[in-house]
Amino acid sequence: QGVKFTIGYSQRFNPKFAYVKQAIADGTIGRPVSALVSRHITRGLGKKISGRTKLSPAAMEATHDLDFILWCLEPAKPVRVYSQANYGAMREASGGDIPDTQYLMVTMDTGLSFVIGAGWSLPPGYPNFSSTWIEMIGTEGALHVDDSHRDVVLNTMQQGMRLPMSSMPGEFVGHAYAGPMKAETTHFLEAVGYDRPVLVTPEQARQVMEVYQAADLSAERHAAVELPLPAAPPIPQPTGGVR
């Protein structure tokens, strides 16, 4: 009782993402009609992430964007998910069942549908590089967000081209911190210290998890999956005396 709990969906604290949320909430672009998010990271990061456990790009990459779009579209709820996975460099390099990219189409109970593409097989030239593109189309306008981090380019004789400050969590730059994780951490500390509500609730995070689980089922079955997912059967309890 009284314990604060939240989920680390740091992209809600990215000013560009927050601007999209605001443009919907204040009616700037009217009623949302469709949305697209494309996120790709390098295969070096993809190898690290996929090497921890058998989780898909939907579960590990698209999860932040699923949270973001579902947050933008509240109170609408997801009712159907269709997903496909594409194979290439990651399977060739590892020999495992690891896709390069996964695409998800999610239909909401309002009839709106959105698409998220997530991948982790960009060439290794950009360590920690994360590139995202957002399109949010509404009845009164459209919003396009370039979060590809091509605005700062470093090119050296030793390391070639680098895109600093492009990792999703962010990084220290001298006395400053570039990235949304600092704002996310400060928000949670203030929520605890001042007894304020957290921005990401457990219920929202559970909904995101259900959507990416449905996406993995859809990619496996090559068919759309309806939401909510059926409840898991209870674990059988042992019978008889204790031995």
The band of 113, judged by pLDDT with boundaries at 50, 70 and 90, is very high
115-128: pLDDT as tens digits: 999 998 888 766 55
What is the reported pLDDT for 243? 42
Cα 12 to its chain centre, rounded Å, is 10
Does the pLDDT value for residue 50 go beyond 90? Answer: no
Does the pLDDT value for residue 25 go beyond 50? Answer: yes
Express the helix, strand and coil content of the chain in percent, nearest 5 each: 35, 30, 40
Q: Residue 223: count other Cβ atoms within 10 Å of its Cβ.
A: 10
What is the reported pLDDT for 207? 96
What is the reported pLDDT for 126? 63
Q: What is the residue type of 121?
A: S
What is the reported pLDDT for 127? 56
What are the structure tokens assigned to 31, written together? 């009623």
Q: Is 85 helix (H, G, I), strand (E, B) or coil?
A: strand
- Kindly tell me the sign of the dihedral angle through the C-alpha atoms of 166, 91, 69, 210: negative
Q: Is 212 or 43 the better-scoring residue by pLDDT? A: 212
Query: What string of DSSP letters covers 51-104?
Result: HHSS--HHHHTHHHHHHHHHHHHTT--EEEEEEEEE-SHHHHHH-SS--SEEEE
Query: By mean pLDDT, which of 45-49, 130-134, 161-165, 178-182 is the weakest?
Result: 45-49
81-106: pLDDT as tens digits: 999 999 998 888 888 888 999 999 99
Are the beta carbons of 208 and 78 closer than 8 angstroms?
Answer: no
Does the pLDDT value for residue 242 go beyond 50? Answer: no
135-169: pLDDT as tens digits: 999 999 999 999 988 888 888 898 888 888 888 77
Query: By mean pLDDT, which of 2-6, 53-57, 201-205 is the weakest?
Result: 53-57
pTM for this entry: 0.88
Of 26, 17, 38, 15, nearest in space to 141 by CA: 26
- CA pair distance 116, 133, nearest whole angstrom: 10
What is the reported pLDDT for 237? 62
Q: Is 85 or 46 the better-scoring residue by pLDDT? A: 85
What is the reported pLDDT for 105? 98
- CA pair distance 144, 72, nearest whole angstrom: 15
Please give the C-alpha separations between residue 29 and each of 20, 26, 69, in angstroms, as whole numbers: 9, 8, 15
Question: Quick one: average pLDDT of 25-34?
Answer: 97
